[in-house]
Amino acid sequence: MRLNINDDDQLDAPDVSVVECKIDQLGVDEFLVLTSEPGFYVQTYQLSKGVFTLEYRQGAPEEHYSVEPTMTNSTEVKRAFGLFLRGSAGFENAFDWQSVSFEDDVSLVSGNDPLSSEPLVEYRGMLMPPDWPQEIEEAQNLREYQIQGQAWHRIPRVCEQDSEAGNLCQECGVRVSELHVPGCRLETCPCCRGVLVECACEIEPD
């Protein structure tokens, strides 16, 4: 087991009290990833004070799950990390894990805009080009950017106001706590914390 603390620190074979302590110490906009072997991990991100996302991956990008409801508290995060750390068989059943997969939600809309040559699909109640749900899905699998020779965890969408909590990103259509589609004007740069499409940081190919 290895605990990644916001990419600032890595702890090998942490025990449960250390992990809980790191969850308590986690700042807003910071994350923890507890990995058992490559591709197998549980992770959390503190969206705002006391509000956490909780996800886990079981090998492949198609096996990526998010807890439902999508935001939770530190007690639940500790419970999840504790069970995962112990390799408990109860881990998977202890939470309402929902696959982070989007294809089932897409439906083709009839009576499309006649001015548009491209048919639109309705996805999460929003009209968009047919390839866009796929872009959203792929964006969730792109977890890092390479900037200045270093890997940075991408910053998920944070809602600025409570009234926006249930809304989709007005630019790219992702939910709160999801990763923006690359190129979205509302994505924050993980390196300088500026607006990613405007800042001076250059994303390098892997």
Nearer CB in complex with Zn ion: 41/145: 145
Q: How far is the CB of 125 from Zn ion (least distance, A)?
A: 16
Q: How far is the CB of 7 from Zn ion (least distance, A)?
A: 15
Tokens 């866009």, located at residue: 132
Nearer CB in complex with Zn ion: 94/186: 186
Nearer CB in complex with Zn ion: 76/144: 144
Nearer CB in complex with Zn ion: 119/183: 183
**64 closest CA partner among 5, 10, 143, 9:** 143
- Phi, psi at residue 167, to the nearest 5°? -85, 165
Binding stretches for Zn ion (CB under 5 A)? 169, 171-172, 180, 184, 186, 189, 191-192, 194, 199, 201
d(CA 49, CA 172): 25
Nearer CB in complex with Zn ion: 19/181: 181
d(CA 68, CA 130): 27
54 in Cβ contact with 37 (< 8 Å): no
Q: How far is the CB of 150 from Zn ion (least distance, A)?
A: 12
Q: How far is the CB of 201 from Zn ion (least distance, A)?
A: 3
**133 closest CA partner among 104, 92, 91:** 104
Q: How far is the CB of 107 from Zn ion (least distance, A)?
A: 22
H helices of the chain, where? 16-25, 74-85, 132-141
